[in-house]
Chains A and B, each alone.
Chain A
Amino acid sequence: MEVIFWIRFIIGACLIAMGLGIFFVEIFGLFKFKYVLNRMHAAAMGDTLGLGSMILGLIVINGVNFVSLKLFCVILFLWIASPVASHLMAQMEVETNKDLNEYEEIENVSVLEEDKEGGKANA
């Protein structure tokens, strides 16, 4: 019985360590990238996978009871709410930045236009 407790604790600790690693990657990306819309990729990762794996580890350690159910509700709520928050932040950035084209350059625009014209000609 004691061995089962140890195994459960080690599995949970591995999941929590994985969550911490994902949080570290998130913050590394927050300082690595140059622009908000790029940073948002890193920031959205921690909200879903980082917190998800971390609370899953806590549930494994805690066992099946009401606290685990509430923690699972936290995961469920954040998986619904976090994409909405990310969408709102990206919408705010796009609406309030007048110089957005400086960061959103598309390379080889001429190739794309040629493709479009070719498609029209074929049609």
Chain B
Amino acid sequence: MFSSIDYSLVPGLETFSNVFMSAVIVIIAVFAVLCLIRAIVGPRVSDRVVATNMIGTLVICVIAVLSVTMESYLADVCLVYAAVSFLAVIVLTKLYTGVYRQNEDGETDFYGQIEIDKYEQASIDRMVKEADEDEEDEDDAPIENEFKGAKSTR
């Protein structure tokens, strides 16, 4: 009763099963394309990671359906794909958080990317130049004052 279905006994069920499983795979493929659109559009990096994780889940579903309909060894592939997809999400999140912490001093825009336009770059260059000049002045200034002080005491 609980063994696998013997399709030779029920020929009508075989065609119905094939049509149904093909329809399921096509629908899941459409869903995966919609997820891909969200992964491309999605404004923040987290959006893209969420959409990628969801595509992984849909692919696991497709492999499970194929393992039942076609080849039994695809169940092992399904298990390994689940592990690798989980690992990919962990690596992406940890990597992005680490890179963000490294660049925490820099300005970030809404998308979480560091952006410096040319006006900001010019102002940064000017500030750096002024700071260099100030350092030079500070180096020179005390020596002159010492000379002046020496002159006034005489």
Chain A residues whose CB sits within 8 angstroms of the CB of B38 once the complex forms? 27, 30-31
Question: What distance in Å separates the Cβ of B21 from its nearest Cβ neighbour in chain A?
Answer: 9
**Once the chains are docked, how many angstroms separate the CA of A70 from the CA of B76?**
7
B24 at the interface (CB under 8 A from A): yes
- Over the window 76-97 of chain B, the binary record of Cβ atoms lying under 8 Å from chain A Cβ atoms (1 yes, 0 no) is 1011001100100110011011
Question: What distance in Å separates the Cβ of A33 from its nearest Cβ neighbour in chain B?
Answer: 10
Chain A residues whose CB sits within 8 angstroms of the CB of B34 once the complex forms? 27, 30-31
Interface size class of B (residues with CB under 8 A): 35 or more
**Once the chains are docked, how many angstroms separate the CA of A85 from the CA of B41?**
21
A interface majority secondary structure: helix
- Over the window 71-109 of chain A, the binary record of Cβ atoms lying under 8 Å from chain B Cβ atoms (1 yes, 0 no) is 101100110011011001101110111110000000000
Q: Are B46 and A89 in contact (CB under 8 A)?
A: yes
Instruction: Tell whether A64 pairs with B44 under 8 Å between CB atoms, given A55-B64, A85-B86, A98-B108.
Output: no
Which B residues have a C-beta under 8 Å from some C-beta of A?
1-6, 9-10, 13, 16-17, 20, 24, 27-28, 31, 34-35, 38, 42, 44-47, 49-51, 53-54, 57-58, 60-61, 64-65, 67-68, 72, 75-76, 78-79, 82-83, 86, 89-90, 93-94, 96-97, 100-101, 108, 110, 112
Give 8 pairs: A residue, B residue, CB < 8 Å, sorted on A. Answer: A16-B20, A23-B31, A27-B31, A30-B50, A36-B42, A66-B72, A81-B82, A93-B44
